[in-house]
Amino acid sequence: MAKAKILVTRKWPEAVERRLSRDYDATLNSDDTPMTTEEIGAALDAYDAVCPTVSDRLPGAIFTGGHRAKILGNFGVGFNHIDIAAAQGAGLTVTNTPHVLTDCTADCAITLMLMLARRAGEGERELRAGRWTGWRPTHMMGTRLRGKTLGIVGMGRIGIATARRAQAAFGMRVVYYNLVDVPAEALDGLDATRLDTIEAVLEAADVVSLHVPGGGDNTHLMNAERLALIGPAGMLVNTARGDVVDQSALISALEGGRLGGAGLDVYEGEPAVPDALIARDDVVLLPHLGSATTETREDMGNMVADNLDAFFAGKPVPNPVG
Ligand code: DGY
């Protein structure tokens, strides 16, 4: 039987590319050039499976129906770059890669939190620029995390993993907001208090970490009013999706002294990052590195491959979306 024809839209870890090339008639993107939405739309009629990532855009308009492709194997847990209803309406199964990137993304949230609290980016820039004049008692004093309150917005897998790290390593008190009840066993061993509203979490927290999906009702969840509730000494960390924060409102809040600082791994309109953020010392900016370890990216790729294998063997896919 002929191998299924699959398209991988970006360069993936080599071990996974080898597996896909062995098992499929795979078109890889070895020079990693981003594909346009039109090219991905055309690919739906030329391949049996298309495997996109967060850097691709798959709006409803490309899902016109009657496509050759019957599955989108998304490389990533988030899928707000795909119009899921339109894809499913056009008969495509969509899969994602949950679980395997939980730890790395939580590590990234903690990295941002620490860098922000200890002014690590600012300090490194000072040293590299040859501006460091030596140790002095009042030089670049940051904030101690121990004993502070962490507010988690979105207590799913990554929110819980971030809370566990913050509590175990820094003794942080944890408060959280989640739309639905979190199963007690998921919180086992964690001392975390659920508050009734996002506002209550923002007011109670010294550091707020966002862990909700992007798109839909979560777009601009963190608007000007909510950002101001974190307060002039408070910090915001976002490893979720750029659109969850109103970026213009964030810049205004920082410029107006209504927010103490921000640690960002994701942006509205990625990969563009506004100069107004780049210019500030009270922000830490990472280039969407949440899941970027060799181990995790290989796990993600293998998870996509497992989903394709199941689909083409006529079995239920392990990680369906929707
Ligand atoms: C995801 O998985 O959604 C990340 O943002 C990309 O790794």
ipTM: 0.95
At 1 the pLDDT is: 83
Question: What homologous superfamily does CATH list for 102-285?
Answer: NAD(P)-binding Rossmann-like Domain (3.40.50.720)
**Statement: the pTM of the whole predicted model exceeds 0.90:** yes
CATH topology of domain 5-99+294-312: Rossmann fold (3.40.50)
216 CA distance to ligand 1 centroid (A)? 17
Asked if residue 100 has its Cβ within 6 Å of ligand 1, the reply is no
Average pLDDT for 140-162: 98
How far apart are the C-alpha atoms of 91 and 76, rounded to whole Å? 21
Ligand 1 centroid from CA 235, angstroms: 23
Report domain extents, the chain: 5-99+294-312, 102-285
- First-to-final CA distance of the chain: 31
Q: Half-sphere exposure of 25 toward its Cβ, with a 13 Å CA cutoff?
A: 8
Contacts of 67 (CB under 8 A, 6+ apart): 44, 45, 90, 91, 92
Ligand 1 nearest atom to the CA of residue 76, by list position: 2
Torsion 125-127-128-131 (CA) sign: positive
Beta strands in the chain (DSSP E): 5-8, 25-27, 49-51, 71-73, 93-95, 149-153, 173-177, 192-194, 207-210, 231-238, 259-264, 283-285
Q: What percent of the chain has pLDDT over 70?
A: 100
Confidence at residue 111, expressed as pLDDT on a 0 to 100 scale = 98
- Give the pLDDT mean for 235-247: 98
Going by alpha carbons, the residue nearest to atom 6 of ligand 1 is: 76
The per-residue pLDDT of the chain, averaged, comes to 98
Quote the CA–CA distance of 97 and 109 in Å, as a whole number. Answer: 19
